[in-house]
Amino acid sequence: MRTWLARTIAATAVGLVLLAVGAAAMPAVRAIASGWWNDPEKLAALPDAPQVHYEAGADDRARAVAALLPAAIARVEVMQGRPFARPVTVGVYASREAFAAANGTGFAGAVGVTFLGNVVLSPVLFTTQRPRLAAILTHELSHAHIRSWMSELTYLRLPNWFKEGLAVMVSGGGAAEDVSEAQARAAIRRGDRIRIAREGSLVANSLLEFIVIRFERPPEVPDTPFRFEMAYRQSAMFVAYLRDANPESFARMMEAILDGRSFADAVTAGYGTDLQVLWLRFLQAQEDASR
């Protein structure tokens, strides 16, 4: 009952944010309502892995996820510095239609989504994109882990580049598989680089805008899969730089984030300096690595 109430409150909060920007947000509100109504917790669960719920006909897929889940959870907890605040439900689907109805975006083309603290996985991860399953599961669990420690609105206020970069780093490249670090570094050197925002936007016409990472200069061909993955890869490289350059500072920053402090405050608590200073150091490190 308490979990259902928390998710209802979270869905209502996100819906109100979207309604505040006007009629253009209505498709996103409908997708939120669909995701709330099609909560994967309503599906059958594996008896020996009750976190994993599955659509009828996807029991074999659910067992594949259950086999990967302990290692994925352990990796997220080690790299993000805390256990999960509560168990995370993972929804596994046989049909793209059911996946789209449950993922809170209505977009059947996604491979994995974290919505209201649940991880929902697309059927393509068990067919044409099976090699990505472990990484995408871990990527989405990274989001769910952070979300388990805070409210939906606090989570939305975290900058997208950090949330996605952390998830890509923790998962070993999940969701950025088609862009190498060398490609991302070359793009950064020629000025084609992400914009490092200090916080996420609560003003959006769609849920897609809550995960998009903007570039400093708009590309000639925006919003292609390659551009999304380029943004994710650059974000992951910056997050990895923050961790590797000073693990103690990174741990302090993560602790402050999971305590619900603003991202800007968390950076200061961890590193004792401004985010832009750290970004400039990262850019210099990419120049040095390319020589």
Indicate whether 198 pLDDT > 70.
yes
pLDDT of residue 2: 47
Indicate whether 99 pLDDT > 70.
yes
Sequence-ordered list of residues with C-beta below 8 angstroms from that of 88, at least 6 positions apart, any chain: 51, 117, 118, 119, 141, 144, 145, 148
Indicate whether 223 pLDDT > 90.
no
Alpha helices in the chain (DSSP H): 2-19, 26-37, 59-80, 96-102, 133-148, 152-157, 160-170, 181-189, 225-245, 247-258, 263-271, 275-289
Domain boundaries, the chain: 2-152+159-289
Architecture of domain 2-152+159-289 in this structure: Orthogonal Bundle (1.10)
pLDDT of residue 23: 45
pLDDT band at 228; cut points 50, 70, 90: very high
pLDDT tens-digit map of 258-276: 999 999 999 999 999 999 9
